[in-house]
Amino acid sequence: MLQLLHPIWLLAGTAIIIPIVLHLWNTRQGKILPVGSLLFLQQQAPQPAINLKLTQLLLLLLRCLLLLLLALLLAQPVWQPKASATSRTPGWILVDKADGLNTYTYCQPAIDSLLRAGYQLHYLQPGFEKTDTSRLRNDTSTHNTPVSYWSLLPALQQQAPANIDLYLFTNNRLRHFYGNRAVTHRPIHWQTYTPTDNVNSFIDKAWLTADKKIYLQLAHTHSNGTTYTYREIAPDSTQHDSISLGQHNGQWQVALPPQPPVNVDTSVMLIGVLASEDAPYMQAALTAIRNYTHLNMQVVTLQNNAPAPVKLQWLIWLSAQQVPATYQADYVLQYDTGKTVATHSAILTGHITEPLFLQQRTQVATSPGLRTLWRDGFGEPLLYSASNAPQVYRFASRFNPAWNNLTWSSSFPQMLLQVLHPATVDIHLQRDNRSMDTIQLQPSLQTGTSTLAGSAQENTPLTPACWLLAVAVFALERFFTHAIKKGGQPHAA
């Protein structure tokens, strides 16, 4: 059947009104009649006679046809074969094998209805093995690392027959949706459910404080998000409520059973800050971080030409000048170079909801390899690192009230902490209980011709045929126009 990719362009076909009006508006000079006497006549200029009558119908039809063909070309016609109803195979129902029993329990009415309609049940995993409800009830297998459902969709499009419907039934846990959002060439009916909400707590990090106590960062994840709390324990006791403390090969370890133990970081975070007019704001934020988290942190002030005493964990270089080669640090936070421009925007981090205003910034040459931590209100990178130097973070503004209100914000220490000492919840995907909205997890549907498994029906573009027909009609119109001009004005048809 004929399909139009952009049917709105058919409105351009109304342009046929123009040649119709031109052919209908037929004006000619009036006839001059000879008379026998001029006694009662006065000489007047000949008046044109207006005769509303279509003339040169063949040319009119060719011109109207040419305009209609041009409108059809703009609408991009394609021919789509009609699928035979008798050859249509049953659709697929896909569920996660590791969560099949829970999925069937929550979505049993919908799944049973599709099964009665002839749909086949498959596992949402590589290979898409066919299964049945009895295996779902008895299968208790689990995955150590959650599989990203989005990563399975390209293979699903290739392996599933092209003329069937696909129904996916999964939970909406965020741990199953990471990586790039999937793009599909066929509609997918994705239905999700929210499992019973329970708070999953685990030890995210542990470190030794300056006064020789162990400080824990506990993560509590549930469907609405992840929160963090801190707890201090003394190393002279082996049991603190549900948290156990011990040593393994001389290394302190803490554990929250039944989860595996976490090593206690006994190192000292040595941070060097370049002496400048922005240094007091940075040092105040670092002091707030140390007082709140009890990190074993030492902050040293560096002069521009003086060498660093030892290797630093973090070098905060509050200057757009290049870092001297004499400084050694695991990570560097420095000002970005570039042209300074005035702006009226905001600072977006994805975590802080407090309004943060941006008045000045430096222009950044964006590239696909940038890892962006902060952005401005226009989506441009503000704090970022390049793929070829991931340990170097560049700030395309300044820690100064003349550039933004970041240094006066109570959220500044928290934002800086996420850069210097980020949470590691991303490596605990199997414990992440955050949920995702159904609209957000839907794959992007890309229309157009696609190559799918078992696809014997593809859209055939009709644009070349329309172009050939339009050229032929135009040639005929020019031929008859030339013949009429050469042979004289024909009578109205």
The domains of the chain are located at 2-29+49-80+462-487, 85-194+435-445, 200-263, 269-423
Q: Does residue 86 surpass a pLDDT of 60? A: no
Q: Which fold has domain 269-423?
A: Rossmann fold (3.40.50)
Q: pLDDT tens digits, residue range 243-299?
A: 888 888 888 888 888 788 888 988 899 999 999 999 999 999 999 999 988 889 999
3-class secondary structure per residue, 180-226: CCCEECCCCEEEEECCCCCCEEEEEEEEECCCCCEEEEEEEEECCEE
Structure tokens at 114: 């599709």
CA dist 173 and 102 (Å) reads: 13
pLDDT of amino acid 287: 95
pLDDT of amino acid 140: 61
- Our CA angle for 270, 292, 295, nearest 5°, is 30
pLDDT of amino acid 299: 92
pLDDT of amino acid 425: 46
Residue 367, C-beta contacts closer than 8 angstroms, at least 6 positions apart: 386
pLDDT of amino acid 490: 47
Helices 463-487, 57-74: inter-axial angle, 10-degree rounding:
160
Q: pLDDT tens digits, residue range 359-411?
A: 999 998 877 778 889 999 888 999 999 888 889 999 999 999 999 999 999 89
Q: pLDDT tens digits, residue range 412-448?
A: 998 999 899 886 545 456 677 788 888 888 888 876 5
pLDDT of amino acid 448: 55
CA dist 253 and 255 (Å) reads: 7
410-442 burial: b if 16+ Cβ within 10 Å, else e? ebbbbbbbbbbbeeebeebbebbbbbbeeeebe
Bridge partner list, 355: none
Taken in order 345, 350, 356, 361, the sign of the CA dihedral is negative
CA dist 345 and 366 (Å) reads: 18
Dihedral of the CA atoms 208, 210, 213, 217 (nearest 10)? -50
pLDDT of amino acid 195: 84
Q: Exposed, middle or buried by CB within 10 Å (0-12, 13-18, 19+), for 172?
A: buried
In this predicted model, which residue has the larger pLDDT, 1 or 375?
375
CA dist 418 and 289 (Å) reads: 10
Q: pLDDT tens digits, residue range 145-168?
A: 677 888 898 899 888 888 889 999
pLDDT of amino acid 88: 55
Q: pLDDT tens digits, residue range 322-335?
A: 888 888 899 999 99
On whether the CB atoms of residues 103 and 168 are closer than 8 A, the answer is no
CA dist 418 and 270 (Å) reads: 17
pLDDT of amino acid 79: 83
Q: Does residue 491 surpass a pLDDT of 60? A: no
Q: Does residue 15 surpass a pLDDT of 50? A: yes
Structure tokens at 299: 């902050």
Residues above pLDDT 70, as percent of the chain: 84
Q: Indicate the average pLDDT of the chain.
A: 82
Q: What is the DSSP letter of 141?
A: -
pLDDT of amino acid 492: 41
